[in-house]
Amino acid sequence: MKKSKVFWGYAILALLIYAVVQVMISTGAINFYYQNMLITMCINIMLAVSLHIVIGITGQFSIGHAGFLAVGAYISAIFTMKLGMPFPTAILAGAVFAALAGLLVGIPTLRLKGDYLAIATLGFAEIIRIVFLNVDYVGGAAGMQVTHQSNWTYAFFGVLITVLVISNFTNSRHGRACISIREDEIASDAMGINTTYYKVAAFAIGSFFAGLAGAIYAHNFYILQPTAFGFLKSFDILIFVVLGGLGSLSGSIIAAIFLTVISTYLQGFPETRMIIYSLVLILVMLYRPTGLMGTKEITDLLKFGKKGGTKA
Amino acid sequence: MEWIQQLVNGISLGSIYALIALGYTMVYGIIKLINFAHGDVFMLGAFIGFYAIARWEMNFFLALIMAMMLCAVIGVIIERVAYKRLRSATRIAALITAIGVSLLIEYTVIFFRGSSPEAYPTVFAAKNFDIFGVQISTQSILILSVSIVLMVLLQFIVHQTKIGKAMRAVSHDADAAKLMGINVDNTISATFAIGSALAGAAGVIFGVYYTRIDPLMGVLPGLKAFVAAVLGGIGIIPGAMTGGLVLGVVETIVSALGYSLWRDAAAFVILILILILRPAGIFGKNTREKV
């Protein structure tokens, strides 16, 4: 099949899913509870995919993703609530500021490797959270009132844009460069790839979409508090990526959907939820350290009959 | 004399960080793993100490020893069950497992006893000594003396005993140590046991000093102890002690200047600065990366 045909096939499928759900929402077949779950699912997919480009594609172990989520959430909330801007502008602003934060954090820290990078990004995320905790303009610890403006349309198109951009980036020349950095940083440096440039670029793109998710997250509830962006949130996002497979875009999406459904049903038992999460995390790492899907995509699994498959 | 007072408080806090950091630095030195669960072993130590003193009416030293012993056992179990299989796995897999173990310990404790905090019983009558106008509480003296005794003990174990020699050999080169007839697995377990025992002791004295413990108390001190270990140069025992003390004093100064809400940020700012400016830490030597 020609590549453009595949693309249009997916585009029609996506629009069909959107239209069906939208019709079901407007006729009341999906009630408020499930609508909320769908939006949470979309936010989680965006977060998983945006972290996937940093950890799965570029191989940079960042565990401070909640920090960029917080930047996107707070900046967009400031734009709508304090400056009176329309919601789409606020989404864009949240994403842009998160990307700037990503650049700011990425340029100094991406010289570090492995564990040190992990702990430094965790530290940066905590610093971001503490800054929001101490700024009275955004309500400090008490939190900030935000109107409910996110709906299925914003959430769905957020996911669509995120997945589209990140999958296209992965399959481009730049994405290949990032993958080579994941496989062997020193060798790809020797091959003439500007490793710092690509690491920072992937980091900034990841932060951009985390900010986008943050903007939708902020306007999905009525109050925004810094406690929502601690390291538990970062670990939650990390779990999506790891469980789905380090390096698999569809894997992270499936894990995000699956875990959102599970945690929605376990909402009444938060301890049990975390025990299950952590056990799953340990067992997956012990028996399948590359995650459930590895670096495979769902499309690879569907065409196992054909030798070699279509050339991307 | 206000600043000496703050310095004493800072050193008390810093010696708790130092005790936790010692375990981090030993484990990192030997298997190159950030043991995220270490902070939770610290929490378990605090709870074991609490139950020992409040429920089973032991005295402080007995409780301290019991917490240390149980924590040592827990540390070895964690290593054998979760980390042993991952010695040859990627660093990311090991780190994620460590995060998983940490969450598992925290939420298992919450599952069994709830997340409400517990008030530590007083073990010593609060009495202040007045030394040149500086008020020093019995608790501070207790913390300092316990920490110093444990650190001296650790130095003795690492430098004078056979197991200490084996630990240093494995951390230097595990394969060569194996060829020389050292049982690497047992040595790694011993490292976990000693590190976890120190964390357990830190948990008990933390409880006595701050009188408030809860199941998530291990997270922040754990991360800060890691910062302390990095600050001193990871894998270096005197470095961890110095790093812990420096961090404790800096935090206390930040609080004393009226920025107590920024206290936690200070530790991470220090971490990022040290990682960027001097990644090997205060005591570390810069080594060239091998290709």
Round to whole Å and give the CA distance between A251 and B193.
38
Higher per-residue pLDDT: A79 or B279: A79
| Minimum CA–CA partner of B78 in chain A | A282
**Which of B272, B286, B288 is the mutation pick for testing A, counting most A CBs within 10 A?**
B272
The per-residue pLDDT for A123 is 87
The per-residue pLDDT for A1 is 55
Is B268's CB within 8 Å of A123's CB?
Answer: yes
Average pLDDT, chain B: 85
Q: Which amino acid type is present at position A180?
A: S
Is A275's CB within 8 Å of B99's CB?
Answer: no
Q: Nearest CA to CA, how far is B111 from chain A (Å)?
A: 6
**Which of A127, A188, A237, A239 is the mutation pick for testing B, counting most B CBs within 10 A?**
A127
**Which of B83, B96, B105 is the mutation pick for testing A, counting most A CBs within 10 A?**
B96
* Residue A245: strand, helix, or coil: coil
Largest CA distance in chain A: 61
Higher per-residue pLDDT: B203 or B31: B203
The per-residue pLDDT for A311 is 42
Q: At residue B193, does pLDDT exceed 90?
A: yes
Is ipTM over 0.85?
A: no
Is the CB of residue A125 less than 8 Å from the CB of residue A229? yes
Mean pLDDT for A50-57 is 91
Q: At residue B97, does pLDDT exceed 50?
A: yes
Residues of chain B in contact with residue A133, where contact means CB-CB under 8 angstroms, are 261
The per-residue pLDDT for A212 is 93
Q: Which helix (H) or strand (E) holds A157?
A: helix A152-171
Asked if B107 reaches chain A (Cβ–Cβ under 8 Å), the answer is yes
**Segment A266-304, tens digit of pLDDT:** 877 877 888 888 888 888 888 887 777 777 777 776 665
Is the CB of residue B36 less than 8 Å from the CB of residue B221? no
What's the whole-model pTM score?
Answer: 0.86
* Residue B135: strand, helix, or coil: strand
| Minimum CA–CA partner of B265 in chain A | A127
Assigned token pair, B38: 């270490």
Is the CB of residue B193 less than 8 Å from the CB of residue B76? yes
Mean pLDDT for A147-166 is 88
Is A120's CB within 8 Å of B272's CB?
Answer: yes
The per-residue pLDDT for A310 is 45
The per-residue pLDDT for A28 is 76
Asked if B113 reaches chain A (Cβ–Cβ under 8 Å), the answer is no
**Segment A92-146, tens digit of pLDDT:** 999 999 999 999 888 888 877 777 888 888 888 988 988 888 888 877 777 788 8
Is A116's CB within 8 Å of B230's CB?
Answer: yes
Of A112, A118, A274, the CB nearest to B107: A274
Round to whole Å and give the CA distance between A182 and A161.
24
Asked if B273 reaches chain A (Cβ–Cβ under 8 Å), the answer is no
Of A55, A131, A274, the CB nearest to B103: A274
Is the CB of residue A80 less than 8 Å from the CB of residue A147? yes
Map tokens 């069906």 to a residue.
Answer: A20
Mean pLDDT for B174-186 is 88
The per-residue pLDDT for B291 is 46
Share of chain B above pLDDT 90, in %: 15
Predicted confidence band at B286 (pLDDT cuts at 50, 70, 90)? low
Residues of chain A in contact with residue B261, where contact means CB-CB under 8 angstroms, are 130, 133-134
Of A61, A133, A272, the CB nearest to B92: A61
The per-residue pLDDT for A177 is 92
Q: At residue B172, does pLDDT exceed 90?
A: no
Is the CB of residue B53 less than 8 Å from the CB of residue B121? yes
C-alpha angle B7/B8/B12, rounded to 5°?
A: 115
Is A55's CB within 8 Å of B261's CB?
Answer: no
**Segment B243-276, tens digit of pLDDT:** 888 898 988 888 888 777 788 888 888 888 888 7
Give me the residues paired with residue B212 across strands.
B119
Is A124's CB within 8 Å of B268's CB?
Answer: yes
Of A133, A231, A285, the CB nearest to B100: A285
Predicted confidence band at A312 (pLDDT cuts at 50, 70, 90)? very low
Asked if B24 reaches chain A (Cβ–Cβ under 8 Å), the answer is no
Q: Nearest CA to CA, how far is A74 from chain B (Å)?
A: 19
Share of chain A above pLDDT 90, in %: 24
**Segment A202-220, tens digit of pLDDT:** 999 999 999 999 999 998 8
Q: Nearest CA to CA, how far is B134 from chain A (Å)?
A: 32
Mean pLDDT for B65-87 is 90
**Segment B16-60, tens digit of pLDDT:** 888 898 888 888 888 888 888 899 999 999 999 988 888 887 788
Asked if B141 reaches chain A (Cβ–Cβ under 8 Å), the answer is no
User: Highest-confidence range of A25-34, A64-73, A224-233, A297-306, by mean pLDDT?
Assistant: A64-73
Is B271's CB within 8 Å of A119's CB?
Answer: yes
The per-residue pLDDT for B76 is 93
Residues of chain A in contact with residue B227, where contact means CB-CB under 8 angstroms, are 119, 123
